[in-house]
Amino acid sequence: MAAIDLSALDSALDLLPDQYRGPGGVAGVVHEGRVIARRAWGHADMAARLPMTATRRMPICSISKQMTCALLLDLFGTPEALDPLLPDLLPNFEGPLPTVAQLCHNQSGLRDYWALTVLHGAAPEGRFTEQDGRTLLAQARSGHFAPGAQFSYCNGNFRLLAELIQRATGRDFGALLAERILRPAGMPSAQLAADMRDRVDQVIGYEGNDDVGFLPAESAITWFGDSGVVASLDDMLAWEAHIDASRADPAGLYSRISAPVTFADSTPAPYGYGLRRYSHAGHALTGHGGGVRGFCSFRLHVAAARLSVVVIFNHEASAMRAAEWLMTAALSASPAPAAEPGQGWDGLWYDHDNDLFLRTRDVPDGVRLHYAVSPATLRPVSATRAEGPGGLVLDRAGDTLRMTRRAENLTVSVSRLHPLLRAEAGDIVGRYWSDEIGTGLVIEARDGAASIGFDGMLGVGPMERMYPLARDLWVVTSRRAMDAAPPGEWTLRIRRTEDGAVAGLTLGCWLARAIPYHGPMAD
């Protein structure tokens, strides 16, 4: 059993509020079933001068997913028991449906419904009801890959699980979660609080940072299964102690949800049952993070060391990095290899398989890759190869870049693009429509600037800027959305006929890829 460096852990905890700046937060560590560290700092409400405490509940966001999966297994034994009920929730889906197990493992191929709210005209602070969630999920006609082939994070997978549990039992999901998971784990105050308008324990989440200041984050979404649980630090430390207490029981729920899973081709999958399996500083972990506007959380468990770490902020600094930092201090883990600057990696590339652009940049600590939801930094290991966390590898050869993403079971070859500083948008202005997701968009251009606006079942959304990347390729920036983190950058590719006329466009981001639109249409 690994020894714990209490002095180093205590020093790291002392530095946490300064290293991850914001209004307030909590952090705690459990070792061998006992709480060995517990901190709460800052304020739950800055205007009211309300202190943060270890008993105030905050949204744990996507950490809820593992609890949803644990409830499913506790009630039904296997995900397959619910497969017959899934077609009613996806009535418009064409082709083979995903299995319920593939929902649990984020292998369904379904596009993320929170990303799609942007295309449906949602205002960031707009209302999103329980029925809106069901309606939006039911519209799916296809996925962006075959079920079981790859990994793609999709909140809708877990909302579907919650709906299936309710339909199979005829009972309220929140009541079942409390009865079967939260109370047996010794979490007395944790509960489902699906409506984000409710200020549980008067805790306010904040947007912003130390440079621009912090403002209360407004959210009016309703969700459960994928998120929705609120818990105090004391509740979460009880969850970690419960995990340790059942560690030797192969039938224990955490043992079952952390067991190995595979893709359809039998390749090991690093994500399953709402848990990520990965390594950090030489230690094998299971864990998960979460974020909604104004809050960020992360929990991790090192089974071999019987160590767990929980961090929750009422702001949007990285709770994942903070939790990993505390784990590294507690276990006296080896520091990461010294960073090396990237050289010659700058480039703009196009992934034809997924209709997404990617950027690579030389940075002082390696190669920065912009492709998925968040940028990743890779370490150069040769003049033509760079490696990053989770089996992420870039191999370059002239104007071709081969990207391997082991965590997603994805390998693609991408081609170099010739960037444009300026492009005329005059012939692409107008209105477009997507039969695939039942939404419209409009492109406007004036005096060298192009903008785009989306509309659908949630209303008429704000205009967003779009910028040229290469010939007939644009990037649309989406920095604020109902969920956190927002989808970020969307790739917009113009489709043309043989004679050069605009035939339509394809729009997508990492969470919701390759959505076809036809147009432009006459007013």
Model confidence pLDDT, tens digit, residues 44-96: 999 999 999 999 999 999 999 999 999 999 999 999 999 999 999 999 999 99
- Cβ neighbors of 225 (< 8 A, separation 6 or more) are 64, 65, 68, 158, 159, 160, 161, 162, 163, 165, 173
Q: In the numeric block, which tokens belong to residue 25?
A: 């937060």
Helices (H) and strands (E) in the chain, counts: 11, 33
Mean pLDDT of the chain: 95
Asked whether residue 2 carries a pLDDT value surpassing 80, the answer given is no
Catalytic residue selected from 7, 11, 62, 434: 62
For residue 189, what pLDDT is reported? 98
Q: Is the pLDDT of residue 336 over 80?
A: no
In this predicted structure, what is the pLDDT of residue 301? 98
Q: Does residue 255 carry a catalytic annotation? A: no
Band (pLDDT 50/70/90 cuts) for residue 339 is: confident
Q: What is the pLDDT of residue 465?
A: 93
Q: Whose structure tokens read 């190995």?
A: 260
Comparing CA positions, the residue from 109, 228, 221 lying closest to residue 163 is 228
What pLDDT score does 250 carry? Answer: 92
What's the half-sphere exposure (Cβ side, CA atoms, 13 Å) at 182?
A: 23
* Cβ burial 89-114 (10 Å sphere, 16+ → b, else e): bbeebeeebbbbbbbbbbbbbbbbbb
pLDDT computed for residue 353 by the predictor: 95
pLDDT of residue 478: 82
Interhelix angle 130-138/155-169, rounded to 10 degrees, is 110
Closest CA to 505 of 490, 515, 491, 495: 495
| pLDDT reported for residue 6 | 95
Read off the pTM.
0.96
Catalytic-labelled residue, pool 7, 11, 65, 434: 65
Average of per-residue pLDDT across 323-344: 89
User: Does the structure show a pLDDT above 60 at 448?
Assistant: yes
At 520, the pLDDT band (50, 70, 90 cuts) reads very high
pLDDT at residue 338 is higher than 90 = no
Which residues are within 8 A (CB) of 308 and not within 5 positions of it... i.e. 6 or more apart?
A: 29, 30, 31, 237, 240, 243, 244, 299, 300, 301, 302
Helical packing angle, 6-19 and 319-330, nearest 10°:
160
Helix axes 155-169, 64-76, angle to 10 degrees: 30
Contact 40, 63 (CB under 8 A): no
Instruction: Dump pLDDT digits (tens) for 202-213.
Output: 999 999 999 999
- Angstrom distance (rounded) from CA 127 to CA 385: 46
Please, what is the Cα angle at 240 between 234 and 243, to 5 degrees? 145
pLDDT over 70 (residue 425): yes
* Statement: residue 175 has pLDDT above 60: yes
Q: Is the pLDDT of residue 325 over 80?
A: yes
230 pLDDT above the threshold of 70: yes
- Residue 92 has a pLDDT of 97
The predicted pLDDT at position 477 comes to 87
Q: What pLDDT was estimated at residue 522?
A: 67
Instruction: Write phi, then psi, for 448 (nearest 5 degrees).
Output: 90, -5
* Rounded mean pLDDT, 155-163: 98
Strands of 191-192's sheet, edge to edge? 58-59, 229-231, 191-192
Q: Among 277, 64, 257, which residue's Cα sits nearest to residue 151? A: 277
pLDDT, average across residues 163-187: 98
Q: What is the 3-state secondary structure (H, E, C) of 389-433?
A: HHHEEEEEECCEEEEEEHHHCEEEEEEECCCCCCCCCHHHCEEEE
- pLDDT at residue 521 is higher than 90: no
Strand partners, 433: 440, 518
Cβ distance 512 to 492 under 8 Å? no
Q: Do you find a cis peptide bond into 520, omega within 30 degrees of 0? A: yes
pLDDT of residue 503: 96
Q: Predicted confidence band at 523 (pLDDT cuts at 50, 70, 90)?
A: low
Whole-number pLDDT of residue 280: 93
Spatial distance between the Cα atoms of 65 and 110, rounded to a whole number of angstroms? 16
Residue 130, number of CB atoms within 10 A of its CB = 15
pLDDT for res 306: 97
Largest CA distance in the chain: 71
Is the pLDDT at 1 greater than 90? The verdict is no
* Residue with tokens 């919650």, as numbered in its chain: 162
Cβ–Cβ under 8 Å, residues 84 and 76: no
Among 71-75, 367-371, 477-481, the minimum mean pLDDT is found in 477-481
Compute, in degrees rounded to 10, the torsion defined by CA atoms 216, 218, 221, 227: -10
The mean per-residue pLDDT over the stretch 24-34 comes to 98
Instruction: Check if the beta carbon of residue 60 is closer than 8 Å to that of residue 297.
Output: yes
User: Could you confirm whether 65 is annotated as catalytic?
Assistant: yes
Q: Which two tokens stand for residue 395?
A: 């191999």
Is 352 a residue whose pLDDT tops 80? yes
Average pLDDT of the residues in 325-341: 87
